[in-house]
Chain A
Amino acid sequence: MEQDDYKIVQQVLKGRKDAFAELVEKYKKQVYNVAYRMTNDPEVAMDISQEAFVKIYKNLAQYNPQYKFSSWLLKSVNNLCVDYFRTRNDKTASLDVIMEAGAEGLLSGSNVAPSSAEEFEKNEARLELRAILKEAISQLPLDYKSVVVLRHLQNLSYKEISQILNLPMGTIKARIFRARKLLKTHLERKISDF
């Protein structure tokens, strides 16, 4: 699969621009979805996706085939998302914010009313839960959001996420762990409001 990508890259590097469209077609859904889940805004996701592909094209000569092409591409997407949030001074942009906002308390879940998950077996509740989870993901601090999107929505391995985010696997693991706790807390709270 990756060998195929590299062949396409080589064709583009020989001047066949049209071959790049194959890569766009192949990865557009993945790229757009990551950008969309990260920003929760279809227009911004479109902008970021376009920019990511164009950046990749401009730097195609630097592609190292020992890495997955998709990892390289998603790294570009992630960096653009980080820039997007940083530029907008978004409060979800940094892990620091979680400390400032006292969100550590959320992690313990100590203020959450006890609620049984069994109460939500029904299908309609499940749909509601899905919507709540999507909302919860969009509200995660960026550092957590990126690992959740890559791990759970794109089913990437720790190793791939580690390459994309340029972070040690231990850090990825810890972030996913904490992100899950935050999501669980958010869901419990929402459900207790029903």
Chain B
Amino acid sequence: MSWDLEKFEEKLNEDLDNLLSVEEKQELQKQIESNREYRDLSDWYYRIQSIFREIPHENAPAGFTEAIMARVNELPAFEVEDKPAPKINWKAGLALVAGVVGLAFFVSPTTEDPLANPRPRPVVVAQNEVANPAEVKAKADLMVASAKGVVQVFKKDGFLWKEISEGVNINFEDKIRTLSNSSLFLKYSDGTEVKLKPNSLVQLKPDGMKVYHGDSWVHVIKKGRKFETYTPNLVASVRGTIYDVSVRYNQQPYEEFLKDMTQKTVWKGLSPEVYFRNFSLDTVAEIASTTFEDQVDSGVKVYESSVDVRPLAQDSVTVLDGVIVKEGQGVELKAGAQVLANADIQTLHEKDFQGWGMIVPGHITVNTQVDSTTTGTESSEIQSGSEEATQQNAEENGSSESSSEESDPSKAFENMNK
């Protein structure tokens, strides 16, 4: 009796998985021999099956075990025998418990499946000499002069944020972010310096950078060196100068904005778990740069020489006519605006210099009034936002030490350089 195609394929698949009895196998063989279509079909499947066996198994990269063990060795041992119980730091303990409980709230599996996995955390590359060989081999394009707090790198081809403190290299096209209470000081090989305040996200390129969010500071040392800083709505071009660029979406600091983003329609389908797994934070900013482009405020403040600031058209590519901003001046491109005029240029406030650990040069006149310039005011708002976040974190950590530092970013950068 001839089988129909459906039954034949079912039995053929069972045969491929060695699930047929001897009798069933014999019957299958009869079907194959009696039907040319079945013969061709089975020929294909058996052939594929045999090719599967020929696909070689790749060896794990050299240093695989060492890289993993370097990470494991950073984690606490489960239970060390014959050692006195450690003294409990109740403040730190409570903070830790609170943190773990908070994290578990978002990431704990909802099933009792014995094979269920905990949620992943950002990949941390192994340290120093025992680091992941693939990372070690890669040459860094940028040098970390100093870093404070949580500074993470999203490698160009990676998919997880990695802690910069763990020795990961920074190369062009990687994305870098500073979270609350964190800051970073980077150097290009030609001496160009970049600083990031807390809650910033940037992507560094050979001849400039892209600022997705937050406050970045640039000191181009080499004369004639091209350096362009792009925000979602403007580009600042310089040749030998010091300036900063600020970007805010909906006038919010980075982390606050990200938390809000998970509530917005654009993230329908992207669960908060994904957000807390740290997988998509850079994508958030990228999507934001197009989805929320009408909510982007960008500001440029010039501390030395001059900067050509030009708005970007809605296509985010076409560069429009802009203004030349001289030292001691700043300009802000408000959300939705596409025109910058000389009338938009404001005098910087003393605080703007102090915010980056600089003193006001004698030849520059700045606004010393409490009510600062437009950009200066924005800076104050930004700072107060950071202060709130800092204060909150400090309270959570049972410490107020970092708070005072955060309220004075110049201190943060001074300390970083020590």
Q: Shortest CB–CB separation between residue B318 and chain A, in angstroms? A: 27
Kindly identify, within residues 18 to 64 of chain A, every residue whose CB is under 8 Å from any CB belonging to chain B: 18, 20-21, 24-25, 28-29, 31-33, 36, 41-44, 46-47, 49-51, 53-55, 57-62, 64
Which residues of chain B have C-beta atoms less than 8 A from A57's C-beta? 72, 75
Tell me whether A116 and B40 are in contact in the complex, defined as CB-CB below 8 angstroms, given that A13-B79, A87-B159 are known contacts.
Answer: yes
Contact B13 A55 (CB under 8 A): no
Contact A166 B48 (CB under 8 A): no
Tell me whether A36 and B58 are in contact in the complex, defined as CB-CB below 8 angstroms, given that A50-B123, A176-B17, A187-B44 are known contacts.
Answer: yes
Contact B55 A153 (CB under 8 A): yes
Contact A32 B40 (CB under 8 A): no
Tell me whether A29 and B79 are in contact in the complex, defined as CB-CB below 8 angstroms, given that A50-B71, A50-B123 are known contacts.
Answer: no
Determine the distance from Cα of A66 to Cα of B51 in the docked complex, in whole angstroms. 34
Q: Shortest CB–CB separation between residue B416 and chain A, in angstroms? A: 29
Binary flags per residue of B39-65, CB closer than 8 Å to A gives 1, else 0: 010011101110110110111110011
Contact B134 A50 (CB under 8 A): no
Tell me whether A32 and B75 are in contact in the complex, defined as CB-CB below 8 angstroms, given that A117-B43, A152-B52 are known contacts.
Answer: no
Give the interface size bracket for B toward A. Answer: 35 or more
Please tell me which stretch of B113-121, B181-189, B227-235, B303-311 contacts chain A, meaning at least 4 of its Cβ atoms lie within 8 angstroms of it: B113-121
Q: Residues on A close to B: CB < 8 A?
A: 12-18, 20-21, 24-25, 28-29, 31-33, 36, 41-44, 46-47, 49-51, 53-55, 57-62, 64, 66-67, 71-72, 75-76, 79-80, 83-84, 86-88, 116-118, 120, 126, 129-130, 133-134, 151-153, 158, 163-164, 166, 173, 176-177, 180-181, 183-184, 187-188
Can you list 6 A-B pairs, Cβ within 8 angstroms, ordered by A? A28-B65, A46-B61, A87-B274, A116-B40, A126-B51, A129-B47
Which residues of chain B have C-beta atoms less than 8 A from A79's C-beta? 117, 120
B170 in contact (CB, < 8 A): no
B132 in contact (CB, < 8 A): yes
Kindly identify, within residues 115 to 145 of chain B, every residue whose CB is under 8 Å from any CB belonging to chain A: 115-118, 120-121, 123, 132, 134
Determine the distance from Cα of A76 to Cα of B54 in the docked complex, in whole angstroms. 26
Contact B115 A47 (CB under 8 A): no
Q: Shortest CB–CB separation between residue A155 and chain B, in angstroms? A: 9
Which residues of chain B have C-beta atoms less than 8 A from A176's C-beta? 13, 17
Contact B51 A130 (CB under 8 A): yes
B280 in contact (CB, < 8 A): yes
